[in-house]
Amino acid sequence: MRTAFDFAPFRRSTVGFDRLFDMLENSAQGGNGENYPPFDLIKLDDNRYRIEIAVAGFKRGEIDITSHQNQLIVRGQKAEDNGANYVHRGIATRSFERRFALADHIQVTGADLHDGMLSLDLVREIPEAMKPRKIEIGGAAGQPAPAQPQTIDAKAEQREPEPA
């Protein structure tokens, strides 16, 4: 039996980690075994991913895709039957809702439904301000470091200038 872990003491001593604790609590509660419809997660390269969901029997108008605050929600609601008299009904037509937690800066760039597979394209778009950048060593505001003050040689001052 799985016991729920109380994150309240950690919430009091952290700032800005609320979403992390919410995700941990939701994942602990989400162990209800819901695995319909099945999906694949494919990494295309370092910044591009694809989610493929098997939605056989669903049409474009019966699927709703929403991306909101680092969460992708895919819902399917089957339309009413056309009055057919089924002897056996083996194709799943139940409604579904699949939720995917998206990392920061992941954007859904496209969706396509082909041969019963719903493909969702995802891209990680890191803002320029958050990308690593090289900092040159120098003075403030990118100015070169000020020149070192020249030291006056005491012996040179005592010498008389050479005649010209």
**pLDDT of 121-132, one tens digit each?**
999 888 888 778
Coil, helix or strand for 151?
coil
Whether residues 76 and 104 share a domain: the answer is yes
**Helix, strand, coil in percent for the chain, rounding step 5:** 20, 30, 50
Asked if the structure places residue 76 within a domain, the reply is yes
CATH number of the CATH domain containing 119: 2.60.40.790
CA atoms within 13 A on the CB side of 33: 0
Residue 105: CB atoms within 10 Å:
13
**pLDDT of 56-112, one tens digit each?**
889 999 999 999 888 999 999 987 777 778 888 877 678 999 999 888 888 999 999
Across the chain, mean pLDDT equals 77
For residue 33, give every residue at least 6 positions away whose Cβ sits within 8 Å of its Cβ, in sequence order, or none: none
Percent of the chain topping pLDDT 70: 63
Q: Measured at the alpha carbon of residue 40, what is the angle toward residues 34 and 43, in degrees to the nearest 5?
A: 135
Asked if the structure places residue 19 within a domain, the reply is yes
Pick from 120, 99, 98: which is nearest to 41 by CA? 120
Q: Name the domain count of the chain.
A: 2
Answer whether the bond into residue 37 is a cis peptide, omega within 30°. yes
pLDDT value of residue 86: 83
Asked if the structure places residue 139 within a domain, the reply is no
Q: Which tops the pLDDT comparison, 20 or 138?
A: 138
Q: Measured at the alpha carbon of residue 19, what is the angle toward residues 111 and 72, in degrees to the nearest 5?
A: 10
Asked if the structure places residue 155 within a domain, the reply is no
Asked if the structure places residue 43 within a domain, the reply is yes
Cα–Cα distance, 88 to 91 (Å, whole number)? 9
In the predicted model, what is the mean pLDDT of residues 127-149? 72
The answer, yes or no, to whether residue 15 has pLDDT greater than 60, is: no
**Taking the model in full, what pTM does it have?**
0.61
Whether residues 6 and 71 share a domain: the answer is no
| Burial (0-12, 13-18, 19+ Cβ within 10 Å), 96 | middle
pLDDT value of residue 53: 95
| Domain span holding position 97 | 36-81+89-132
Whether residues 8 and 65 share a domain: the answer is no
